[in-house]
Amino acid sequence: MSISSTLQSYLDRQKVPYHLRHHPYTETAMRSAFAARVPAHRVAKGVVLKDEEGFVMAVVPSDRQVDLNAVNRSLNRLLEPAAQRDVRILFRDCDPGAVPSLGQAYNMKIIWDDSLAKEQACFIESGDHTELLELDHQSFIQLMEHQPHGLISCH
């Protein structure tokens, strides 16, 4: 499958350069980092959350967990993890469990963890289980600069 059509169209519209890094099949962002020989803190995973207002994606390093309390404080909401069936519908051009962490490509609000701004490159799922999308620091910041962010992850 490679990169999802929605993600590719979004990146093309934003004029953001990227590279695809092939790796053996994996089912989690953390395992994708290992398989692609990329430090886990450079792989940004997207966690879909939901409340009565709708969906939000929290983007954190793959070796960390979303701090739901921090997200809720930052956004003044009462979010909780979304059901997998909702995620499959929202990301229908992606393999289940291979959600790209650029929710804005899918018209979804996002909040991202500040630790990702320190990385020289960030990697995200491309929509399948065998490719990571690599964004250099400048490209990642360009995509995230107008999105809310903060310290929203924990070990």
- Strands, DSSP E only, in the chain? 19-22, 43-51, 54-61, 65-66, 80-81, 109-113, 121-125, 131-136, 149-150, 153-154
Looking at this protein, which amino acid is placed at residue 93? D
CATH number of 5-154: 3.90.960.10
Instruction: Sketch the domain layout of the chain as residue ranges.
Output: 5-154
pLDDT in tens, 96-133: 989 999 999 999 999 999 999 999 999 999 999 999 99
3-state secondary structure (DSSP) of residue 14: helix
In the chain, which residue ranges form alpha helices assigned H by DSSP?
5-14, 29-36, 68-75, 84-90, 137-144
pLDDT in tens, 52-92: 999 999 999 999 999 999 999 999 999 999 999 999 999 99
Sign of the torsion formed by the C-alpha atoms of 146, 42, 73 and 50: positive
Among residues 99, 40, 100, 80, the alpha carbon closest in space to that of 64 is found at: 40
pLDDT in tens, 5-34: 999 999 999 999 999 999 999 998 889 999
pLDDT of residue 132: 96
CB atoms within 10 A of CB 108: 17
Answering whether pTM is above 0.85, one says yes
Contacts of 72 (CB under 8 A, 6+ apart): 78, 79
Token duo for residue 77: 């909401």
pLDDT of residue 1: 52
What is the residue-averaged pLDDT of the chain?
95
pLDDT in tens, 39-63: 999 999 999 999 999 999 999 999 9
- Rounded Cα–Cα distance for residues 139 and 74 (Å): 24
Token duo for residue 10: 């979004």
